[in-house]
Amino acid sequence: MIHIYKPGGDSARPVLALLHGTGGNELDLLPLGERLSPGSALLGIRGNVLENGMPRFFRRLAEGVFDEEDLTARTHELRAFLDEAAREYGFDRSRVVAVGYSNGANIAASLLQHYSGVFAGAVLLHPMVPLRGREWAPQPGTPVFIGAGTNDPIVPGGETAELQGLLEAAGAQVAVHWSSQGHRLNAAEAEAAREWLGRLSYKR
């Protein structure tokens, strides 16, 4: 997968896997990653799917309607890439925290749904439920931050509550931050995620 890796200056910080939204690329979330966890190694990843020329991590049939077969295949693909990147760059795979926005948050959630222990934690910004009707892999104690919009036109509040419930039923420890900026990222959301990350322990 097309990506960029920036080594970190603080070995006590997690490695952030940065997963962009529709139309983004491997560089989009680097400034956010630097803000959320100064000193962390950053792995910016570009999705392998194009929708009208815009990179995504998996196909969709319509807005909010996922191509479930493709999502499942791309989830396995991304898991394999993360394992390969850890070997290539020599970082501790068990210390990877996902930071995903929109489409990137959705595939990060899918990774949590498919695999136990795939992330040390996750920052999901405006995510949706990835695959309904599929059992979630156990996530005992996995910390998850969800950034949500009270007036998000793409992700209704009920969707956020459903995802929170599914994660918590799998054992994850979920914190939800609500803002009123629609589907956009905003400074208050980023600050809440930064404070949340700062309170976590990454010893596994």
How far apart, in whole angstroms, are the C-alpha atoms of residue 15 and residue 8? 8
DSSP state, residue 129: -
Pairing state of beta strands 173-179 and 143-149?
Answer: parallel
Q: What are 67's two structure tokens?
A: 């191509």
State the helix-helix crossing angle for 103-114 and 68-89, rounded to 10 degrees. 80
Does residue 102 carry a catalytic annotation? Answer: yes
Q: How far apart are CA 160 and CA 74, in angstroms?
A: 22
Q: Under a CB-based contact definition with an 8 Å cutoff, are residues 105 and 58 in contact?
A: no
Which residue do the tokens 């020599």 mark? Answer: 90
Tokens of 69: 């077969």
* Active-site choice (102, 110, 114, 177): 102
Which residue among the candidates 40, 152, 177, 179 is catalytic per the annotation?
152
Q: For residue 11, which of 36, 52, 54, 40 has the smallest C-alpha distance?
A: 40
- Looking at residue 49, the DSSP 8-state letter turns out to be E
What are the residue numbers of the active site? 102, 152, 183
